[in-house]
Structure 1
Amino acid sequence: MSVFAERLRNLREKQGQTQVQVGKAVGKSREAVTKYEMGQREPDLHAITSIARYFNVSADYILGITDQLDSNHKQEGLDEVSLSGKECKDNEEFVPYFKLALKIKNSGVGLKEVEEFVDKLIKQKR
């Protein structure tokens, strides 16, 4: 059984959810959830992100890339964002950047991909 299959089943059982409930929440059938849990079917990217969001865990966790339910850097990053947000709140110059961040978040593009792209862009500008 794959790490994804085990983690999906564990998360579902831990929250007392049925396969039907999980399926409805993420737009999949009970049969699809059953096959995911049995390792008979691999989820597509949309299903992975939907399931991770539903259980409030990272896609990295559900895929077995990390053993942490959520990354430690989230809280540290939130502290930074909170300070930055207070500093930029009244500065309209930052509004397009916040809109872009929201667009990226909603697109399903991974944070690591965005960071790598931005790092390359910054290097090119230097």
Structure 2
Amino acid sequence: MHVLPERIKSLRNVKGQSQKELGQALGKSREAISKYELGEREPDPDALVLFSKHFNVSSDYMLGITDHIENKAFGKRKPYSPELYAFEKYLKNQDFIPYLQLAVSMKDSHLDINSFKNPINKLIKQGKKQKHPK
């Protein structure tokens, strides 16, 4: 089983990029990215460096030598999957924190989420309107 194709696809998905977007960022075609992800083509050393820099991970991680993501910008090791790393970033989003606090309070109070569905949806819609006025 090839680790590199899986890592390319996983990191691309975590970053929310299409194959075309990744290809444009790296100076590669969408077809080349697809072949890398399918394991039909191996990236040359220069391409491997481009992937590592783009995803801010070590080439050792890309190649499966290690399963630990090393954040190259800060030299900190991230001992979990790209999916969990993306989830952590989502949880640290300042716009999300009030909703997380509300959910924790509701769970701690043993409140039924369904009774708050309409008010919560109204709050979400108001927040979206404030961020994106017409």
Q: TM-score, normalised by structure 1?
A: 0.56
Residue type of the alignment partner of 1:50: L
For 1:4 and 1:18, the matched residues in 2 are separated by: 17
Deviations 1:60-110 (A, max 9, x none): 1011011011179x359xxxxxxxxxxxxxxxxxxxxxxxxxxxxxxxxxx
For 1:2 and 1:35, the matched residues in 2 are separated by: 13
Query: What 5-or-longer segments of structure 2 have no aligned partner?
Result: 78-134
Alignment-derived partner of residue 28 in structure 2: 28
Deviations 1:24-73 (A, max 9, x none): 1111110000000000000000100001100111111011011011179x
Residue type of the alignment partner of 1:28: K
For 2:71 and 2:55, the matched residues in 1 are separated by: 14
User: What is the CA-CA distance between 1:14 and the residue it aligns to?
Assistant: 1.0
Secondary structure of 1:48's match?
helix
2:52 is the alignment partner of 1:52: yes
Secondary structure of 1:65's match?
coil
For 1:75 and 1:56, the matched residues in 2 are separated by: 11
Alignment-derived partner of residue 128 in structure 2: none
Q: Higher strand fraction: Structure 1 or Structure 2?
A: 2
Q: Give matches, 1:8-23, under 5 Å.
A: 8-23=8-23
For 2:76 and 2:43, the matched residues in 1 are separated by: 29
Which has the bigger relative contact order, CA under 8 A and spacing at least 6? 1
For 1:20 and 1:37, the matched residues in 2 are separated by: 13
Query: What 5-or-longer segments of structure 1 have no aligned partner?
Result: 77-126
For 2:71 and 2:14, the matched residues in 1 are separated by: 20
For 2:10 and 2:33, the matched residues in 1 are separated by: 13
Whose radius of gyration is greater, 1 or 2? Answer: 2
Retained in 1: the 8 A contact 2:56–2:71? no
Q: Higher helix fraction: Structure 1 or Structure 2?
A: 1
Secondary structure of 2:12's match?
helix
Secondary structure of 1:70's match?
strand
2:76 is the alignment partner of 1:64: no
For 1:75 and 1:10, the matched residues in 2 are separated by: 20
Moved over 2 A (4+): none
